Structure 1
Amino acid sequence: MPQDELTERGPVLRSALSRCIDIPAERFAREHWGRAPRLATAHDDFADLFSPAAVDELVGRRGLRTPFIRLAHEGSVLSPERFTASGGFGAEVSDQVSSEKVLAEFAAGATIVLQGLHRVWPPLVDFARRLVEELGHPAQVNAYVTPPSSQGFSPHYDTHDVFVLQVSGEKHWVIHAPVHPDPLKDQVWTEHRAAVADAGRGEPVIDRVLRPGDALYLPRGWIHSATALGDTSIHLTVGMAAYTRADVVDTLLSLVGETEALRASLPLGIDVSDPDQLRPIVTETVEALVAALTGAADPATLSARRLGARFGRDTRPEPVAPLATLGAITALSEHTRVRWRDFYGGILTTADDRVRLTARGTVLSLPAEAEPALRLLRAGGPVAVGDLPGLDLASALVVVRRLLREGVVVTSE
């Protein structure tokens, strides 16, 4: 299946989500997201994203350090000392990956786990960023490289959703229904070790061999294990840290500090281990919390502000090129074309003769005259500096220099 479509204007990238599923996004959202697994066979070719050569490049030439790499054998994570060493002269760090040690452990049956590839491998940097934009939740990408006939991890569940993309080789996956549905981040599978083990011995929901081009979606909490077959198996695990209603509750609880009734001390001499003494206090506290929430001016705005700031910390927009950007600032002219930085986001508001851009935990304030220019840039395509509305050329140059320096816009060919 082709990865891109060609048009008269050039290649158009396929949706990142469409590479992970074989049904329309609307149906996936309705029937599978957070609910049920989805297996897509012979769906895509992921060689443009990752490959055996990429594994050798990362292990042998990129100087990875923990935690960007770990090794596991028969369900146990190996001590870093078994696969790392000093970087040698000029790179005196003790935990750089040792390709010789990795070879020895891999030959003995250990699985190589390359973590955080959405930060270090360019095709996956771009892929993960597009997936985040489409789904609205943070993503990470790991690669699991398993030698023939080996199992990296015993049956377990993850506290985040995953898309499994089989890159090369074959891997036998066994999937069982959750014993603890929709686990939160701190509700790890080891808290239910016995129940997970029992479930792993029962009738599986999915029992299939994944081959190159297959894709599998697993909601958090679904129990799984996988074993490589005749050849080395490489698959990507795209982890989606879905925001939950519990996260919304956490944002609303910030109102506690602003509510006098909820800041009050408990009675002197109370036995906090006695449910009878706590019961009336709990009732009063719940009533005060409900009153605080219903009396708040706009709880949705509060939640959006706090979750938006968290999203900015959890994700990264398009990278900037520091040297090229500084050069562009120096050479800026009316003919320079700039565009909003991909996946930077941001909300524009106007008050007190200022236009404010709120994005990724920061606020940028500019004269209100810059609002039309900012809104045009925020809407999408590249614009020449001299064509920005509402500003004369001198003002436009000042505004764009500021936006370039702050990493809000980038130059466009």
Structure 2
Amino acid sequence: MSTVPRTLRDTASHAESRVLETRLIGLSREEFATSVWGRVPLLTRGVGDFSDLFSASAVDELVSRRGLRTPFLRVAKDGDTAPESSYTSPGGVGASVADQLDDTALWRSFADGSTLVLQALQRTWQPVTDFAARLGTELGHPVQANAYVTPPQNRGFDDHYDVHDVFVLQVTGTKRWIVHEPVHPAPLRDQPWTAHRAAIADAARSEAYLDTVLEPGDVLYLPRGWLHAAEALGAVSIHLTLGIHVWTRHALARQLADSALALLREDAEMRGSLPLGVDGPGDDVDFVRRRLVAALAEADPAPLFHRARRGQARPAPLGPLAQLGALDDLAPDSPVRLREALEARLVGRRLATRVGWLDLSEEELPPALRVLDGGTHLAGELGLPFVERLLRAGVLLPAAS
């Protein structure tokens, strides 16, 4: 059996379900990848209606009926973030968690000009959950979704840059966006804009790269590092920001170095002590450098990369009661499907996923390959013991018949 990794091809990666080209950009995937991705902003007008993803009624439901806690919401005005205590309170009898959202306090802040930022919507709002999972699978990079709800004629944040790429989807209202070129191109996650305040302030006074008004249905793509500020105009503005937490060559270098260091742990000479009374690296640094270079040439960062990637996002939701029902009612004609966004990979006989790994028998390999190819399968065609095992592991889900 080949040990070449086999990557899951789930519903989110099927051509007919792709969301990048159909809902975010007016270019082909290839043109976007070669001319835009990570390089320059892209404004696409009139892509479509985003009300199926988010809306004003969704804001009201999340704020007033879902019992959300911090940090699922923050409040900002004129570049400052409000303290959490100013918009949270205990949940009442039987729910004495102290940091639940206080809808009255939030209303007063909003009426006073504050922007409400609903964070991590990929965890709290199902349409956004599904969309973010599909986009993340297509791009190969984790996706986070926030919503920004800004009163008329107000600005939530001053000029700044993000350490991730973003797609801005204007849902309702209009918002003016002013974009300037980077002062620190392609920042890493530990290189925030606050370290460049003076340079950003100077750049914000220069001629803008883009000064435009987004209307409902417009999409703006910004690579990480591009400066931006936005202000709502004549009505309440709601926009979704899809943050793409890109993998970088620097991250890959770190994983390569970690893999090399793991190899050097098995080298007795590298485990040896430096000379007595050492006060610096001395002559040993040349020896260590040679061994490190040799280990780098031998190291394989792929296992660390895929392990880290699996940890950067969550798989599609799993309902425990539906899962138990599927096990109780399991029969040869029971339809099942692979759980989406699992990042499943079969290496040899090990099936690695975001919910753990399973070592498969030789007999289980053929049905595993069928599962990885996507689609719905009947349990009897895959083998009832195999299906039961993957249902219990949370790898398979019951599918609609």
List aligned pairs for 1:13-52, cutoff 5 A. Answer: 13-52=17-56
Counterpart code for 1:42:
G
2:12: which partner in 1?
A: none
Structure 1 residues 291, 281: closer, same or farther in 2, change over 3 A? same
Distance 2:295 2:130 in 1: 43
Cα offset for 1:348? 2.1
Say if 2:355 and 2:395, in contact at 8 Å, map to a contact too.
no
Between stretches 195-204 and 254-263, larger displacement belongs to: 254-263
Equivalent position to 1:402, from 371, 389, 392: 389
In structure 2, give the amino acid aligned to 1:49. L
Residue 109 of structure 1: how far off its partner (Å): 0.9
Measured after TM superposition, the shift of residue 345 of structure 1 is 3.2
Secondary structure in 2 matching 1:224: strand
- 1:49-80 Cα offsets, whole Å, 9 max, x none, are 01111111111111111000000011011001
- Indicate yes or no: 2:150 matched with 1:146: yes
Q: Which residue is 2:210 aligned to?
A: 206
Match of 2:381 in 1: 387
Farther off after superposition, 149-158 or 284-293: 284-293
The offset of 1:141, in angstroms, is 0.1
Query: How has the CA–CA distance of structure 1 residues 266 and 70 changed in structure 2, closer, same or farther, with 3 Å as cutoff?
Result: farther
Residue number in structure 2 paired with 1:182: 186
Match of 1:249 in 2: 253
Match of 2:4 in 1: none
Residue 366 of structure 1, CA deviation: 2.6
CA distance in 1, matches of 2:367, 2:144: 34
Match of 1:168 in 2: 172
Cα distance in 1 for partners of 2:81, 2:270 equals 45
In structure 2, do the counterparts of structure 1 residues 264 and 105 end up closer, same or farther at CA, with 3 Å as the change threshold?
A: farther
Give the counterpart of 1:113 among 110, 117, 122. 117
1:89 to 77, 89, 93: 93
C-alpha contact 1:18 1:25 (8 A) present in aligned 2: no
Instruction: Decide whether the 8 Å contact of 1:358 with 1:364 is kept in 2.
Output: yes
The alignment partner of 1:342 has SS state of coil
Over the matched positions of the two proteins, sequence identity in percent amounts to 48
1: CA distance, partners of 2:278 / 2:361 = 56
Among 263, 282, 293, the alignment partner of 1:290 is: 293
Residue of structure 2 aligned with 1:330, choices 309, 315, 328:
328
> Structure 2 CA distance, aligned partners of 1:398 and 1:342?
21
Structure-to-structure mapping, 1:122-137, within 5 angstroms: 122-137=126-141
Structure 1 range deviating more: 19-28 or 281-290: 281-290
Counterpart amino acid of residue 258 in structure 1:
L
Among candidates 341, 344, 348, match of residue 346 of structure 2:
348
Residues in 1 aligned to 2:233 and 2:226: alpha-carbon distance in whole angstroms = 22
Structure 2 distance, partners of 1:265, 1:144, is: 56
How far, CA to CA, are the matches of 2:197 and 2:273 in structure 1? 39
SS at structure 1 position matched to 2:170: strand
Counterpart contact for 1:257–1:263, Cα < 8 Å: no
Cα displacement string for residues 354-388 of structure 1 (whole angstroms, at most 9, x for unaligned residues)? x3212237320232111111111111121212223
Deviation sequence 1:267-290 (CA, Å, 0-9, x none): 555555xxxx77x66555443321
Deviations 1:293-340 (A, max 9, x none): 12x2xx3xx322111111111112221221111111111111112122
Tell whether the 8 Å contact from 1:157 to 1:223 is kept in structure 2 after alignment. yes
- Give the paired residue count: 381
For the residues of structure 1 that align with 2:198 and 2:295, how far apart are their CA atoms? 42
Matches of 1:316 and 1:83, distance apart in 2: 28
SS of 2:149's equivalent in the other structure is: strand
Report the secondary structure of 2:50's partner residue. Answer: coil
Q: Where do 5+ consecutive residues of structure 1 fail to align?
A: 1-11, 389-395
> 1 CA distance for matches of 2:149 and 2:386?
48
Which residue number in structure 1 is paired with residue 11 of structure 2? Answer: none
1:195-274 counterparts in 2 under 5 A? 195-254=199-258, 255-259=260-264, 260=267, 263=271, 269=277
Contact 2:18 / 2:134 at 8 angstroms: preserved in 1?
no
Whether 2:357 is the aligned partner of 1:359: answer no
Deviation at 1:19, TM superposition (A): 1.4
Q: TM-score, normalised by structure 2?
A: 0.91
AA at the equivalent of 1:52:
A
Change (3 A) 1:250 1:17: farther
Task: Label 1:219 to 1:286 Cα distance change in 2 as closer, same or farther (>3 A).
Answer: farther
Among 376, 384, 395, the residue aligned to 2:370: 376
TM-score by length of 1: 0.88
1:122 to 1:361, Cα distance in 2 relative to 1, 3 A: closer
Conservation of the 8 A alpha-carbon contact between 1:308 and 1:360: no
RCO higher in structure (CA 8 A, sep ≥6) = 2
* Root-mean-square deviation (Å): 1.8
Out of 321-330 and 110-119, give the one that drifted further: 321-330
* DSSP 3-state at the match of 1:225: strand
User: What SS does structure 1 have at the residue aligned with 2:301?
Assistant: helix
Per the alignment, residue 9 of structure 2 pairs with: none
Establish whether residue 57 from structure 1 lines up as the match of residue 61 from structure 2. yes
SS at match of 2:303: helix
The CA distance in 2 between the partners of 1:359 and 1:342, in whole Å, is 11
Letter in 1 for 2:104: E
| SS at 2:360 equivalent | strand
Contact 1:309 1:361 in 2 (8 A): no
